[in-house]
Amino acid sequence: MALEIKELSIPGVFLIEPACFKDHRGFFMETHHFEKYRQARIDAAFVQDNLSHSAQYVLRGLHYQLTHPQGKLIFVVTGEIFDVAVDIRRGSPFFGRWTGAILSAQNHRQIYVPEGFAHGFVVLSDSADVIYKCTDVYTPGDEYGILWNDPAIGIEWPVEHPILSKKDHKNKKLKDTPETRLPVNRYKR
């Protein structure tokens, strides 16, 4: 199987299916190759890797940074998640729309979420280990969130009663977020 990269329903968000070489010993795959991804219009320079371990039904999100925006390449090492990107860029024709996919250790899929999007996921398996490469470092005080179940966005989460952090419980709806706390659309195709 060759590397497959396809753009999802919002320009700039990509679903990636890396080439995975399996045999009786296990498998091998590249989780990132700058030149191959760049040729598919993902020319991000990653500067930080994060690992998240979460229990079943934990929902993390919808998170973003404003002055230090992070593009993210997300993949699952163990378990299964439903991963979501929400366009929150002021002036974007896709403002308030979401796209997502199931990522798992079995399907080896990745999602690339560009800067200017809110990102989140919910764990569907007993637990999940998620790695995400970021284009900028985590900056305390520059993190914001959008309410996970904002009815105007209408994300079709596969879990009705997720487990949230206290912080994520307090996130505001997109319409209640001050315009100055939303990124500006800078995406060029």
CATH of the domain at 147: 2.60.120.10
pLDDT, residue 69, reads: 96
Q: Is 90 contained in some domain?
A: yes
C-alpha dihedral, 125 to 122 to 102 to 11, nearest 10°: -170
Stretch (H or E) spanning 38: helix 34-39
Q: Is 20 contained in some domain?
A: yes
Per-residue pLDDT of 164-189, as tens digits, reads 999 999 999 999 999 999 998 876 55
Q: Is 188 contained in some domain?
A: no
Identify the segments of the chain with pLDDT beneath 50. Answer: none
pLDDT, residue 189, reads: 53
pLDDT, residue 40, reads: 87
Q: Which of 37, 64, 112, 132 is catalytic?
A: 132
pLDDT, residue 187, reads: 60
Q: How many domains is the chain built from?
A: 1
124: domain range?
4-181
Q: Is the dihedral of CA 185, 15, 146, 49 positive or negative?
A: negative
Q: Is 186 contained in some domain?
A: no
Contact in structure between 34 and 50 (CB atoms under 8 Å): no
Q: Is 122 contained in some domain?
A: yes
Q: Is 187 contained in some domain?
A: no
pLDDT, residue 188, reads: 57
Beta-carbon contacts of residue 25 (< 8 Å; ≥ 6 apart)? none
pTM for the whole thing?
0.94
Q: Is 189 contained in some domain?
A: no
Q: Is 144 a catalytic residue?
A: no
Q: Which of 63, 64, 112, 119 is catalytic?
A: 63
Q: Is 133 contained in some domain?
A: yes
Per-residue pLDDT of 99-117, as tens digits, reads 999 999 999 999 999 999 9
Q: Is 63 a catalytic residue?
A: yes
